[in-house]
Structure 1
Amino acid sequence: MTNFVFHDIALVIISSTVLGWLSLLTRQPIIIAYILAGILFGPWGLKLITEIEFINEVSSIGITLLLFLAGLSLHPTKLLELFGKTFLLTLLTSLAFASVSGGVLYAFGFTAMEAVISGVAMMFSSTILVVKLMPTITLHQKHMGAMAIAVLIMQDIFAVLAIAFIKGGSSTSVIGWLTSMVAGLFLALVAILVEKYVLRRIIKQVQRYNELLNLVALTWCFMLALIAEQIGLSHEIGAFIAGVSLASGPISNFLAEGLKFFRDFFLVLFFFTLGAKMDFGLMQSVLIPGLLLTALMLLMKPAVYWAAFRIEKETQKFSREMGFRLGQNSEFALIIALLAADSNLISASSSQLIQMVAVLTMTISSYILIFLFPSPLGTSKPLKID
C-alpha cells in the first residue's frame, strides 16, 4: 500500500499544481482547480488515483489547522462577546435553511426522514471556504472575520448535535451531547489556564528555535483535538480551543504565519478529494432536485444572512458581504450525508444529492467571493505581487 499512497499523493500534488497554475492564467479560483483535479484523476475520471479514502483522512489535518489558526486571531474575551451576539442569529437562520430545503425535498417525493436529514445538512456554511477566502488586511475585514468565525463555530456545535442524533437516535444522544458541551467548556477553561501558566513558559524557552516553536504549537493543537474527540466533540473544535487559548499570548501572530503553509498543503488534499468523491452515476437520479436546491441555497442564504445581520444593526455593506461569504453549504454536509447513508436513514441517492449540493454551492460561491470581494485567492490588483 505504501507505494500506492506515495504514487497517489505525488499525483495529487502534481495535478493540483498544474491546474492551479492554469487557473491563474485563466483568472479562475484556485480552489476550483483543486476540485477539478480530483474529478479528472479520481474514480470518475482517468482513475489514476485509488487511495481516495486515505488521502481524505489525511486532508482532515487541514481542517484542524484551519480552525487552530482561526482561533489564534480571536482573544477569549472577544470570542465570548461574539458568541453572545451570534447565538440567536445562528439558530434562527439554521432553522430557516433546514425547514425550507427539507420542505422542497419532501415536495419532490423524498421520505420525511430523508427530507429532515437533508434539511439539517443544508443548515451549515463552509468553514474551510469562509476562513480560507477571508482577508484580514483591514479592521473592517477583521471584524467580519471574527463574526463569521463565531457563526461557524456555533454551527459546528449544532452539527455535533446532528451527528450525535444520527449515530444514536435516542435520548442518550441528547444527554451525551449536553455532557460533551459542559466538558468542552471545562476544556476551554483548562486550556486557557495551562497556556498561561505552563505553555507560555515553554514557548519562552524555545522561541529562538522556529522549528521547535512550531512543533510546540502543533503539539498543543493536536493534543486538544484528541481530547475533544474523546469527550464527544469534533477535533476541529478542540483545535479551535487550542488556538483561542494561544490568542492572548505574545507571539500568536508569529505562530499563525509560520503554520499557514502546512494548513494550505492539507487543504489542497481536502479539495482534491472533494472532487474525486463525486459519484456522477448516482447524480443523474437526483439531478433536477439537486440543481434546484443548489440555486435555492445560493439565493436564500445570502438574503437571510443579510437580513439577520441588518437586524443586528450591522451596516448594509457589511451585511451584504457577510451574506455572500456564508452563502454556501458546508463540508459538514458531506459527513452527515455519509453517516446517514451508512446508518440506513437515507438512501444512497439522497446522500449523493446532499454531497452534490455541497460541492456545487462551494464551487459557485468561491467564484462569487473571488470576483466580488477582496480575497487572498482573488484576481483584484491590490492583492497581486509585482
Structure 2
Amino acid sequence: MPHADLIADIGLSIVAATSIGVVAKALRQPLILAYLAAGILLGPKMGFGLVADEATISLIAEIGLILLLFIIGLEIDLKKLAASGRSLVVTGLGQFPLGVALGLAFFAPLGFALGDGRFDALYLAVALSLSSTMIVVKLLYDKFELTTLPGSITLGVLVFQDVWAILFLAVQPNLADPAVGTVLVSFAKGGLLVVAAMAASKFILPRLFGFIAKVPELVLVTAVSWCFLVSGLAGAVGLSREMGALVAGVSLSTFPYNVDVIAKVVNIRDFFVTLFFVGLGMQIPVPTGELLGFAALASAFLIAARFASVFPILYGLKNGLRPSLICSINLSQLSEFSLVIAALGLNMGHISDQTVGILTFVFAATSVASTYMIQYNHEIQKVLAAGLRRLGLRDVTDAGDRVEPHADPDIVFLGFFREASSIFQEIETLSQGSATPPRVLVVDFNPVVIRELASRGVACVYGDIANLDTLVHAHIGAARAVVCSIPNSILRGTTNQRLLRMAKRLCPQAKVVVTANTLAGAHSLYADGADFVFVPRIHAAERAARVILSFQGGTGDDVRQTETAALNARHEVLG
C-alpha cells in the first residue's frame, strides 16, 4: 500500500536522522551532516536501500525547503542592510560576483559543462560563493564574537549573500534560455512580485496581523498562508516557489510580529527540513576517486577564493590585516543554501548528480574544517598576518599615527569596546571646563575606533593589547590610571589577570581598573592587586534600581524624557 509505504519511509528517515544526529551532537558536528549521512545509509545508491520512494520524500521535503527560505527571509532586515557601513556594503556587494567570476575561471577549464542546457561550472561557482549562516552564527555566538567588528562584518556579508542567492533563484528557471530579454523578463517578474508583496505588507498585512495578534495559532496559520500564497504566485508567473517563499519572508521581516512568527514556524520547518537533507543524502552518488578528488579540489578552492574575494576588499577599505583576515576565515565554508540551489538545479536538469555529490562532500569537509578554523581564527590570523607583513603589506597604523601618543598619558585604555566608549564619554563630560583635562591614550586594533579617535584628536596606538611589546612601545609607564573594560569572554589572547600583571609591571605608579563578569572573578582580581574591578551588571544595576524605586514611589515620571535627551546628547566613539 503506497500510503503505508510513505509513512514507513518518513518514519525510517526521521529515526535514522535522530540517531545519527545524537552522534553528531556528541562529536560537536553540524546536524545537517547527520541528516545527509542518514539519507546515504537509507538510500539505494550507497546505503541499504531501505527507502524505496525517494520522490515522495523529496516532495514532502520541498515543503520544508519553502519554510526554510521563508524563515531566512524573515531574518533579513532590509532597513539594517540599508544602514550598514561602507565596508560592509562594499564587501557584501563585491564578494559574491568576484567569487562567481573566480569559480567560472577555475571550473570551466576543468571540463565542467557551461552551455547547451548544462551549467555545472556555473552552479559550482555560485554555490561555492555562499557561506553557512547556521554554522557561522552558532560558532561566533559561542565565542562571544558576534558583536565584534569582524563578527559584524561577517554577519553582514552573510545577509548580502542571501540577497544574491535570491537574485540567482529569480533567473534559475530561465538559465536554459539565457537571452537578455528572457533574463530581463525574469527580473521584471521578480520585481513585480517584490513590489506587490511589499505593498501588501505595508497596507494590508499590518491591519490583518493587528486584528489576529491575540490569537497565537491564527498568527502562525496566517503567516504560513502568506508564505504559500506568495510562493504559489511565484510559481504561477514562472519563478521558483522557493524564491516566492523568500520574498514572503522579507516582506514580513520588519513586522513587530516577525520574532513570534519565527518562533512558531521554526519547529514545523525543522521537521520538513530534516526530510529535505535526508532526501538529498539519498541522491548522493557512490564516491569515485574522481568525485572525491574534485571535492577536495573544490574545498581548497573555496577557502582560497574566500581570501581572494573578501580580504582584498576589506583591506583596501583600510580595515587592517586582522579584521580582513578573520572575516575571510569565518566565511570559509559552504552554505546550506548552496545545497538547496544544487537540488533545484538537479531537478531542472541543469547539473548532474555528480555535481551535487561534489558539493555535498565539500559541505561536509568545509563544515568540519570551519568548526576548527573559526575556533582558532585569531591564532590563524596571527600566522597569516605575519606572513603578509613579510611580503610588504602594511597594517592600518597610519590612521592612529596622525595623533602621536603623549609621552606621559594620564589615562590608558587597553582595548576599546562599547563599555570603554561609554566610560570615555563620561570622562570627557566630567572633564569639560577643566584647566588640565586628562591626557588619554587608547591601545586597540579596531580600525573604526582608531579612525574615530584620531578625528577627535585623541592619542591612539593600533596594536594588540595581548602583546607586551605593543604596550612597551606605547610608552604607558607614566600613566596614572590603566583601564581594561573588556571581560575575559571577549578578550582574545589574554585575560584581565594578565593585563593587570603587565600594567603593574609597566606602570608601577598607576591605579589599574580591570573587568569581571562574575563575583568570584572580581574577588580574584582584587586579590591580585586590582585597584578597582568593573562588574558591568552590578554597576549598571545600581542606576536601574534607582529608576525602578522612583517608579514604585510614585515619582520618576520624567525619566523617559530625561533619558531620551541624555542619549541624544551623547556622541560616543561606538554607538
Structure 1 CA distance, aligned partners of 2:233 and 2:80? Answer: 24
User: In structure 2, what is the equivalent of residue 40 of structure 1?
Assistant: 41
How high is the sequence identity, in percent, across the aligned residues? 23
* Corresponding residue of 2:493: none
Out of 158, 174, 183, the position equivalent to 2:168 is 158
Deviation at 1:80, TM superposition (A): 5.2
2:192 corresponds to which of 186, 198, 201: 186
Residue correspondence of structure 1 range 291-330 to structure 2 within 5 A: 291-307=295-311, 309-310=313-314, 311=316, 315-316=323-324, 318-326=326-334, 330=338
Within the candidate set 145, 149, 156, 2:155 is matched to 145
Contact residue 284 and residue 357 of structure 2 kept, 8 A: yes
Query: Which consecutive residues of structure 2, in runs of 5 or more, have no partner in the other structure?
Result: 376-488, 490-575
1:231 and 1:158 map into 2 onto residues whose CA distance is 16
**One-letter code aligned to 2:102:** A
Alignment partners' CA distance in 1, 2:223 and 2:62: 18
Q: Conserved in 1, the CA contact under 8 Å of 2:98 and 2:309? A: no
Between 354-363 and 145-154, the greater mean CA deviation after superposition: 145-154
- Mark the runs of 5 or more structure 1 residues left unpaired by the alignment: 375-381
Amino acid at match of 2:73: G
Distance 1:353 1:293 in 2: 14
Rounded Cα–Cα distance in structure 2 between residues aligned with 1:94 and 1:34: 28
* 2:21 counterpart residue number: 20
Distance change (3 Å), C-alpha of 1:127 and 1:268: farther
The aligned residue for residue 211 of structure 1 is: 217
Amino acid paired to 1:230? A
1:265 counterpart residue number: 271
Q: Does 1:242 align with 2:248?
A: yes
d(CA) in 1 for partners of 2:307, 2:290? 26
Q: Hey, what's the Cα distance between the residues in 2 that align with 1:156 and 1:253?
A: 22
SS at match of 1:123: helix
1:352 aligned partner, one-letter code = D
2:28 match: secondary structure: coil
Q: What per-residue deviation string (whole Å, max 9, x for no partner) do you get for residues 240-261 of structure 1?
A: 2212211221121121122111
Q: Is the contact between residue 74 and residue 253 of structure 2 (CA under 8 Å) also seen in structure 1?
A: yes
Q: CA deviation at 1:93?
A: 1.7
> What aligned pairs does 1:163-178 form with structure 2 within 5 A after superposition?
163-166=173-176, 168=177, 171=179, 174-178=180-184
Report how far residue 96 of structure 1 moved: 1.1
Q: Which has the higher contact order (CA 8 A, sep 6+)?
A: 1
Equivalent-residue separation in structure 2 for 1:114 and 1:313 (angstroms): 44
Q: Residues 127, 18 of structure 1: CA spacing in aligned structure 2 closer, same or farther, 3 A cutoff? A: farther
Q: Write the mapping of 1:1-386 to structure 2, written as runs, cut at 5 A.
A: 1-43=2-44, 44-79=46-81, 85=90, 86-103=92-109, 105-106=110-111, 113=115, 117-125=119-127, 130-135=132-137, 138-140=146-148, 141=151, 144-158=154-168, 160-166=170-176, 168=177, 171=179, 174-280=180-286, 283-284=287-288, 286-287=290-291, 289-307=293-311, 309-310=313-314, 311=316, 315-316=323-324, 318-326=326-334, 330-331=338-339, 332-340=341-349, 351-373=352-374
Residue 113 of structure 2 contacts residue 119 of structure 2 at CA under 8 Å; is this kept in 1?
A: no
> Residue by residue, what CA displacement relative to the aligned partner does 1:165-205 show, whole Å, maximum 9, x if unpaired?
22x36x3xx32331121222222222222112211111112
Deviates more, 1:212-221 or 1:329-338: 329-338
Describe the SS at the equivalent of 2:100: helix
> How far did residue 357 of structure 1 move?
1.1
Check whether the contact 1:55–1:273 (CA below 8 A) recurs between aligned residues.
yes
The answer to which structure has the higher strand fraction is 2
Amino acid at match of 2:294: G
C-alpha distance in 2 between matches for 1:188 and 1:115:
28
* 8 Å CA contact retained: 1:70, 1:131: no
Deviations 1:236-283 (A, max 9, x none): 222222122112211211211221112222221121112111121xx4
Helix, strand or coil: the match of 2:125?
coil
Residues 213 and 337 of structure 1: is their aligned pair in 2 closer, same or farther, counting only changes over 3 Å?
closer
Query: Number of matched residues?
Result: 357
Cα separation, 1, equivalents of 2:4 and 2:353:
31
C-alpha separation in 1, matches of 2:128 and 2:240 = 15
Secondary structure of 2:348's match?
helix
Larger CA deviation: 316-325 vs 186-195 = 316-325
How far is 1:292 from its partner? 4.7
- Residues 198, 339 of structure 1: alpha-carbon distance in 2 compared, 3 angstrom cutoff: closer
Contact 1:206 1:212 in 2 (8 A): yes
Distance in 2, matches of 1:285 and 1:113, equals: 26
Q: How far apart in 1 are the matches of 2:355 and 2:155?
A: 27
AA matched with 2:310: W
Task: Give the Cα separation in 1 of the matches to 2:118 and 2:49.
Answer: 35
What does the per-residue CA deviation read over 1:283-322, in whole Å, with 9 as the maximum and x for residues that have no partner?
A: 4374365245334434333323333552466632552244
In structure 1, what residue type is equivalent to 2:291?
L
Change (3 A) 1:62 1:79: farther
Deviation of residue 234 (structure 1)? 2.1
1:45-75 per-position Cα deviation (integer Å, ceiling 9, x unaligned): 1111111122112212223222222222333
Distance across 1 between alignment mates of 2:318 and 2:66: 32
Other structure's SS at 1:31 match: helix
**CA offsets per residue over residues 90-115 of structure 1, 9 Å max, x none?**
22221111221111x23xxx677599
Q: What is the SS of the residue equivalent to 1:324?
A: coil
Structure (1 or 2) with the larger CA radius of gyration = 2
Which range moved further: 93-102 or 154-163? 154-163
User: What's the offset of the Cα at 1:9?
Assistant: 0.3
Q: How far 1:328 sits from its partner (Å)?
A: 8.6
Give the stretch that moved more between structures: 242-251 or 323-332.
323-332
TM-score (ref. length: structure 1): 0.81
Q: Deviations over 1:111-137 (max 9, x none)?
A: 775998221011223799723334285
